[in-house]
Amino acid sequence: MILASASPRRRQLLGEAGYQFKVVIPDVDESSFSAEPVGARAYAERLALAKARSVAAGHADCVVIGADTVVDFGGEIIGKPADAGEAERITRKLFSGPHKVITGVAVVRLSDGIELVDSDSTTVYPRRMTAEQLAGHIASGSWRDKAGAYAIREQGDEFVERIEGSLTNVMGLPMELLGRLLRRFEQARRS
């Protein structure tokens, strides 16, 4: 099994679940997908599939898992901030009201001709941040390489009041969905 992702959180989640895998970073230009006028779920699923296909092209006999996480704020797709200024704008927006975190997951094995893709959505209800908290968050750099400019913690988060849905989805790899996709993969492989 190969995880087509550079994300340490995805590696952590997959490892903690007991999977044996290696990591191969996909060669996908995510910016080429940004102009497509699609909804957040379709966008995340397309990117997840593109990442899985990119890695599977060189590993046809392996099961390849691709994932992509985006944030949907009132229909606006929000990805990873490019710099501190954008991170601040995103954080101000997202922590003003509820938003959805959507992760697309793809399972691909080219030698079997199997491509499965689906997505999960979790609603996050944030706490309002003070100006000091916002400045501290931006100064910490913890927003780098994170959809929506933040990462939720397993043990709770001072900026999140509650969530509705999968915590592992907000962390970047919905393990419940991945389990269902891997069972579907096994069924498809046997048929």
Q: Which domains, and CATH codes, for the chain?
A: 2-174 (3.90.950.10)
Look at residue 35 in the predicted model and tell me its pLDDT. Answer: 47
Angle formed at CA 134 by CA 129 and CA 164, multiple of 5 degrees: 45
pLDDT for 116-135, tens place per residue? 999 999 999 988 888 888 88
Helices vs strands, H then E, count in the chain: 6, 7
Q: Distance between the two ends of the chain, CA-based, in angstroms?
A: 20
Is the CB of residue 93 less than 8 Å from the CB of residue 150?
A: no
Residue with tokens 């419940």: 176
Look at residue 134 in the predicted model and tell me its pLDDT. Answer: 82
Active-site residues, by number, are 68
pLDDT beneath 50, residues of the chain: 35, 155
Look at residue 153 in the predicted model and tell me its pLDDT. Answer: 61
Measure the CA–CA gap between 152 and 156, rounded to whole angstroms.
7
Q: Strands 76-78 and 99-109, how do they pair?
A: unpaired
Look at residue 141 in the predicted model and tell me its pLDDT. Answer: 83
Measure the CA–CA gap between 27 and 145, rounded to whole angstroms.
16
